[in-house]
Amino acid sequence: MAFMPPFGPQGGQQQPPSSPPPQTIPPKPMTTTFAIDPGAISRCLFRNTYIWPRSGPGFWFYPVFVGRTSISGFRWNGFFWMFSGFDLRSIESFTCF
């Protein structure tokens, strides 16, 4: 099955933010779970979100779609936003603004 890009309320493909994320990394929340609840992270849709994965360094993310087990959006690579997606079970913690 081919990957389908997310579409917004008006039916157009979502675009990355027009500016970089904040330069400051927020403090990591003290709570950790087995898997991130889709309902909890869906409040971060279309907002700058900092994600701490279960392995590897944290990163800025701009989610545009939350599914039952996955999330997709734009990940900041230090220079520009790149479209990406991953499993909610790979997220240890997150915070959004």
Q: What's the CATH code of the domain at 54?
A: 2.30.30
CB contact at 8 A, 75 and 82: yes
What is the arithmetic mean of pLDDT over 6-13? 47
Residue 4 belongs to a domain: no
Q: How confident is the model at residue 75 (pLDDT cuts 50, 70, 90)?
A: very high
Residue 12 has pLDDT above 70, yes or no: no
- State which H helix or E strand residue 40 sits in: helix 38-41
Residue 76 has pLDDT above 70, yes or no: yes
User: Which residues, 6 or more positions from 13, have their beta carbon under 8 angstroms from its beta carbon?
Assistant: 5, 6, 7
Number of domains within the chain: 1
Q: Which residue has the higher pLDDT, 11 or 77?
A: 77
What is the arithmetic mean of pLDDT over 15-23? 95
Quote the domain boundaries for residue 65. Answer: 38-96
Q: How confident is the model at residue 32 (pLDDT cuts 50, 70, 90)?
A: low
Q: Cα 32 to the chain's mean position, in Å?
A: 17
Residue 14 belongs to a domain: no
